[in-house]
A and B are shown apart, each in its own frame.
Chain A
Amino acid sequence: MANITFNAVGIRALSACVPHDIVYNRDLGYLIPEEEIEKVISNIGIAERRIAPDDVTASDLCYKAAVQLMADNDIDPESIDLLLFMSQTQDYRIPATSCILQHRLGLPKSTMCFDISLGCSGYLYALSTAFAYASLPGINRVLLLDGETFSKIVNRRDKVDWPLYGDAGTATLVEKGDFGQSSFLLNTDGSGENTLKIHAGMRNPITAQSCVEREQEDGNIRSDLEVFMDGMDVFNFAISKVPRCVKQVLADAGKTVDDVDYLVFHQANRFMMDFFVKKLKIDPERVPYCISKYGNTSSSSVPLTVASELVGKLDGTKNVVFSAFGAGLSWGAALLSMHDCKVSPVIEY
């Protein structure tokens, strides 16, 4: 069981950047019958999303978020020991995007860099990696960049996925300091590999045929290079695992939901998060949502929600829970003792 505890490391600062261009779900008449659009928007809780232009990538959004974070907190690039880039939409297949970002951000050549790729739970895993390295002698500061541009891997005629996803880039600065105990509970069930998948890769080599858009289940259109999601199975998975996982990470620390100042969920869809809130019996005031403005930004959604909704609210010491879940299947929860975390407001690219 991956139940990890850290002391004296934590999140010092956090920032986020979204594309300038807005796509409105009320304009999805070509995909969803007009009379159903309002109901869909109210159920998934997504009115609009930010979509990156063709020439803007997840790393561009993260770069801008990182520059903002370093400026707002007077961070010397020379002080960054490790740069992590978490994304499923990297710039290239080779090399790792973190290396490109090291150079672009002016970080020293002594910076350790690597990419992490996982589903919507990725931020939790990457954050636990950042905490683990920051706990070691020799590493004081870790810059974790988590960004996704799912608009580039979702077909616009896929009515399951297209209304949900938005793009975002985030930066999280993790360092040694006067922080209390934080713990992570991380889980995996690979038997659910087909629930959320892009088929083309090494197992199914990419050919000219992979690019061909085909009509799939329920009239959805997509190619083998684009995301498939079984919405019902994801929902069943999430409601059976996520509330339990949140309860467990709290119980392991001798706490209950009443001790939590903020519980930040992966912004999958509003209906699902409302279900979690009901099931956990937590005060909804403590559960920030930014999904109506930004949609589901995959692994970036937890830090984006912090930047969008918790500016100025993380002064002093706060018990904050992050919980995320997604492709893999992979899920987890983290109970963080946050202390004077400086959150920069969301900026536009």
Chain B
Amino acid sequence: MNFADLFEETDCDSIKANTCFKDLEEWSSLLALSVIAMIDEEYDVEFRGDDIRGSKTVEDLYKIVKSRVG
């Protein structure tokens, strides 16, 4: 499971590290919960609302997760 897998209607290949995920048409507050759940499951990292709000690109999310892994 990765970030792009959470989207059902968006073409996975169109989601890159520099994609501004909040601009994707499918992005929603409920999808944000899926992101928090996926990060908890895959990386055992706690992700807060401010982390999502403060991130623009997929890479921003990745950097926060990476800084908290282990």
A residues near B, CB below 8 A? 36, 39-40, 43-44, 160, 218, 230-233, 235-236, 239-240, 271-272, 275, 279
Contacts and interface: CB of A to CB of B under 8 A. Distances in A.
Interface of B: 28-30, 32-34, 36-37, 40-41, 46-50, 52-53
A236 B49 contact: yes
A232 B52 CA distance: 9
A35 to B, nearest CB: 11
Contacts of B41: 279
A271 B30 contact: yes
Contacts, number: 43
Contact of A160 (B29, B47, B48, B53): B29
Nearest to A39: B30
Contact of B29 (A231, A233, A240): A231
- B28, B33, B37 — which one has the most chain A CB atoms within 10 A of its CB? B33
16 contacts: A36-B28, A160-B29, A231-B29, A232-B29, A232-B48, A232-B49, A235-B33, A235-B36, A236-B48, A236-B49, A239-B36, A239-B40, A240-B46, A271-B37, A275-B37, A279-B41
A141 B68 CA distance: 50
A271 B34 CA distance: 9
A240 B40 contact: yes
A111 B50 CA distance: 48
Given A232-B32, A233-B50, A239-B36, 13 more contacts: A39-B30, A43-B30, A160-B29, A230-B49, A231-B49, A232-B33, A236-B36, A236-B46, A239-B37, A239-B40, A271-B33, A271-B37, A275-B37
A301 B13 CA distance: 42
Contacts of B29: 160, 218, 231-232
A89 B22 CA distance: 36
A312 to B, nearest CB: 35
B34 to A, nearest CB: 8
A244 B29 CA distance: 25
B38 to A, nearest CB: 10
